Amino acid sequence: MDKLWAHLIKVQPDPHPWVVAVAALVALVIVGFRMPWQLSRGLITIAHEGGHALMALVTRRKLEGIRLHSDTSGVTLTRGRPTGPGMVLTAMAGYLAPSLLGLAAAWLTEQGRITLLIWTVLLFLVCMLLLIRNLYGALILLATGGAVFALIMYAPAAVQQGVAFVAVWFLLLGGIRPIIELQQKRRRRQARDSDADQLARLTILPGGFFVFFFFVVAVTAAVFGAYLMNPL
C-alpha cells in the first residue's frame, strides 16, 4: 500500500510550454468544430450526469441509476422530495460538473499529480459503471475506462502528461459549449424539460437566470484553470 500511495502521489516535472499550448489547441479544435465535437460530446455527458449523481448522493436523495444515450443525451434517475434544496442542487449540478471537474483537474496538473488525476478519472468511471442502467451507457463507459486503463498501463509518462492536459482543456472548454447550445434550444422552445427550466419550476427564478449562472461559472472555471496551467 505504501508503494501504491507513493506511485499515486508522485510529482511529475513541469511540462514544456509547448505541451500546454498544443493541448489547448487540440481541445479547442475538438470543441469548436462540429464533427469532433459530436464524436466527443458524450464524454461531457458522462461528467454532466456524474455531477447529478454525486449531488444526489451528497443531498441524500435515493439514486436509482444513470442512462447514457447514443445521441449524447443522458438522464440521472433519483427518488426523494420533488421540491426543496436537495432537488434544486441535484438539478443544478449537471451543467456545472464538467467545468468544476476541469478546474479540479487543472489544479492537480499544476501540482504535477498526473498519475493521481488519471487514476481518479478511472475510479470515477468505475463508480458510474455501477450505476448505469442501459446497454449503450455501459458500453461507452467500458470503452472510455478501457482507454484510460491502457493509458495507465502502457503509455510513458510524457504521453500521459500530454493526454492529461488535453483532457483538462477539453473539460474546461467543453463545459461552456453545452450551455450555449442549451440557450439556443431554449430560444427555439426545444428544451422545455432542460435543467434550467426544471430549476425555474422549482424556484422563483426564470430559466434564463440559471443559464446565465451556468455560463458565468463555466467561463470563470476556464479562465482560472488556464491560469493554473500556464507554465509561464
Mind listing the pLDDT tens digit for each residue in 19-35? 999 999 999 999 999 99
Is residue 225 one of the residues assigned to a domain? yes
Is residue 223 one of the residues assigned to a domain? yes
Is residue 128 one of the residues assigned to a domain? yes
Residues of the chain with pLDDT below 50 are: none
**C-beta of residue 96 within 8 angstroms of C-beta of residue 195:** no
Residue 189 burial by Cβ neighbours in a 10 Å radius (0-12, 13-18, 19+): exposed
Cα–Cα distance measured from residue 96 to residue 118, given in angstroms and rounded to the nearest whole number: 21
Give residue 192's pLDDT. 80
Domain count, the chain: 1
Give residue 45's pLDDT. 96
Is residue 116 one of the residues assigned to a domain? yes
Cα–Cα distance measured from residue 102 to residue 212, given in angstroms and rounded to the nearest whole number: 19
Is residue 13 one of the residues assigned to a domain? no
Give residue 23's pLDDT. 96
Is residue 17 one of the residues assigned to a domain? no
Is residue 18 one of the residues assigned to a domain? no
Give residue 9's pLDDT. 77
Cα four-point dihedral sign 165, 170, 171, 172: positive
Give residue 134's pLDDT. 94
Residue 188 structural domain: 41-229
Is residue 126 one of the residues assigned to a domain? yes
For 197-232, the pLDDT digits (tens) are: 999 999 999 999 999 999 999 999 999 999 999 877
Give residue 10's pLDDT. 82
Give the DSSP per-residue string, 74-86.
Answer: EEEEEES-SSSHH
